[in-house]
């Protein structure tokens, strides 16, 4: 994600919150341009610590989302701050998305689910992936409310109209003033909505088209990607065309493999991999067969991807 910002963003500063000691050590040693690394010791306050033991690691990360934004605005006196998920990759300058806000104070992005993948009833209308708050009265009112709600309740389950940190956003356009819903087609493209788009490459630019609307791809949310033993990578349980795999996913995977090589040489880094599906070979075969029937068996050999320069 940082590399993609370096390649595409004309003006930015990235505040990275390291949620474990190894990440903090490596990030500091890398001396990345335009980056400030923030440790948990510096970031965590009494409110967060009071709920930490009652949340899983994932739930605590979600709980912390509004707090990291609040911390950056308050600590560094920022006029605005955009939270971005670590599994985003930018193909164009994201400032065009923030510029779309004009004089509004909060920017949120929809999931834009493909109908057959619609999980908005559980996961929410909006995705906490790229969300901007300005240091204004309206912006800080919304951010403070969200921070307090996530500390009160933020779990990986649906309960009383809540789910994680995301369902809280569902009514923001009516609850708060100054909330803008992103309209740019190229922001928020993801595995759960890419089926709706025609994807093509024109020169160095990737274009996405939906009906009569055409736009440059700004960022893609690479949700779910998992690395298995036996040198396999899983792109997830969504239908992905060959164009999507080779125009979008290939770029990302080759970047990851290049970064991994650098980390191995510099830090002796070892990839944390999962077992290839199940220990029981029959369950693995049934799982594979089911995904093939549904057209979502997106498991590929990394060696073949590197050799072929394609995901086929």
Query: Both 93 and 152 in a single domain?
Result: yes
| 197 inside domain | no
Final residue before a domain boundary, out of 181, 216, 234? 181
pLDDT on residue 276: 74
Q: Judge if 45 and 101 occupy the same domain.
A: yes
| Element of type H or E holding 293 | helix 281-294
pLDDT at 108: 98
**Could you read off the pLDDT of 70-113 as tens digits, one per residue?**
999 999 999 999 999 999 999 999 999 999 999 999 999 999 99
How many whole angstroms separate alpha carbon 199 and alpha carbon 119? 23
pLDDT for residue 179 is more than 80: yes
Q: Average the pLDDT over 147-153 and give the result.
A: 98
Residue (of 250, 255, 254) closest to 311 by Cα position? 250
In a domain, 203, yes or no: no
Beta carbons of 71 and 140 less than 8 angstroms apart: no
Q: Do 103 and 243 belong together in one domain?
A: no
Residues 238 and 290 in one domain: yes
Q: Which residues partner with 134 through β-bridges?
A: 80
- Is residue 270 domain-resident? yes
pLDDT at 90: 98
Instruction: Please identify, among 154, 181, 208, the residue that sits at the C-terminal boundary of a domain.
Output: 181
Q: For residues 18 and 104, state if they share a domain.
A: yes
On average, the pLDDT of the chain sits at 95
Domain boundary among 130, 156, 181: 181
Residues 103 and 9 occupy one common structural domain: yes
> Does residue 93 sit in the same domain as residue 31?
yes
- Does the structure show a pLDDT above 80 at 146? yes
Residue 67: pLDDT above 80? Answer: yes
168 and 26 in a common domain: yes
CA distances from 290 to 90, 261, 285, 297 (A): 33, 34, 9, 8
At 260-310, the pLDDT tens digits run 999 999 999 887 777 777 777 787 888 889 999 999 999 999 999 999 999
- Same domain membership, residue 125 and residue 17: yes
pTM, whole model, 2 decimals? Answer: 0.96
Q: Can you tell me the mean pLDDT for 218-235?
A: 93
Same domain, 114 and 7: yes
- Rounded to an integer, what distance in angstroms lies between the CA atom of residue 39 and that of residue 19? 7
Report pLDDT for 163. 98
Asked, for residue 136, whether it belongs to a domain, the answer is yes
How do 213-216 and 205-210 pair as beta strands?
antiparallel
Average pLDDT over residues 126-132: 98
Q: Where are the beta strands (DSSP E) in 203-259?
A: 205-210, 213-216, 219-221, 226-228, 232-234
Tokens 């736009």 belong to 215
pLDDT digits (tens, 9 = 90+) for 231-252: 899 999 999 999 999 999 999 9
Specify whether the CB–CB gap between 107 and 20 falls below 8 A: no
Query: CB neighbours (10 Å) of residue 42?
Result: 11
What pairs with residue 214 in β-bridges? 209
Question: What is the residue range of 236's domain?
Answer: 224-308
Q: How many domains does the chain have?
A: 2
Rounded distance, CA 250 to CA 305, Å? 8
Indicate whether 54 belongs to any domain. Answer: yes
Indicate if 173 and 237 belong to the same structural domain: no
pLDDT of res. 129: 98
Q: Residue 263 in contact with residue 254, Cβ under 8 Å?
A: no
Q: Please indicate, yes or no, if residue 192 is contained in any of the structural domains.
A: no
Please name which of 87, 91, 86 lies closest in space to residue 186, comparing C-alpha atoms: 91
Percent of the chain predicted with pLDDT > 90: 91
Q: Is residue 210 in some structural domain?
A: no
Give a yes or no: residue 205 inside a domain.
no
Average pLDDT over residues 143-160: 98
User: For position 287, what pLDDT does the model report?
Assistant: 84
């Amino acid at each position: 994600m940082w590399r993609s910002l370096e390649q595409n963003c004309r003006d930015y500063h990235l505040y990275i919150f390291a949620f474990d000691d190894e990440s903090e050590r490596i990030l500091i040693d890398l001396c990345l341009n335009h980056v400030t690394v923030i440790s948990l010791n510096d970031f965590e306050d009494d409110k967060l610590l009071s709920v930490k033991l009652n949340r899983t690691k994932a739930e605590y990360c979600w709980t912390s989302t509004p707090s990291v934004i609040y911390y950056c605005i308050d600590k560094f006196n920022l006029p605005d701050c955009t939270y971005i998920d670590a599994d985003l990759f930018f193909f164009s300058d994201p400032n065009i998305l923030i510029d779309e806000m004009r004089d509004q104070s909060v920017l949120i992005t929809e999931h834009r689910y493909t109908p057959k993948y619609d999980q908005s009833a559980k996961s929410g209308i909006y995705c906490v992936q790229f969300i901007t708050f300005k240091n204004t009265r309206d912006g800080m009112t919304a951010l403070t409310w969200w921070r307090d709600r996530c500390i009160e309740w933020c779990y990986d389950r649906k309960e009383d109209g809540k789910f994680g940190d995301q369902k809280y956003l569902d009514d923001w356009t009516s609850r708060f003033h100054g909330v803008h819903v992103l309209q740019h087609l190229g922001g928020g493209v993801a595995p759960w909505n890419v089926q709706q788009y025609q994807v093509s490459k024109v020169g160095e630019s990737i274009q996405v088209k939906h009906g009569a609307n055409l736009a440059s791809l700004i960022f893609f949310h690479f949700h779910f990607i998992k690395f298995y033993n036996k040198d396999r990578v899983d792109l997830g349980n969504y239908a992905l065309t060959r164009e999507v795999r080779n125009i979008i996913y290939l770029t990302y995977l080759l970047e990851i493999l290049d970064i991994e090589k650098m980390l191995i040489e510099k830090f002796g880094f070892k990839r944390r991999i999962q077992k290839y599906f199940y220990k029981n070979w029959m369950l693995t075969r049934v799982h594979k067969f089911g995904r093939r029937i549904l057209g979502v068996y997106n498991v590929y050999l990394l060696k073949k991807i590197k050799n072929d320069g394609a995901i086929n």
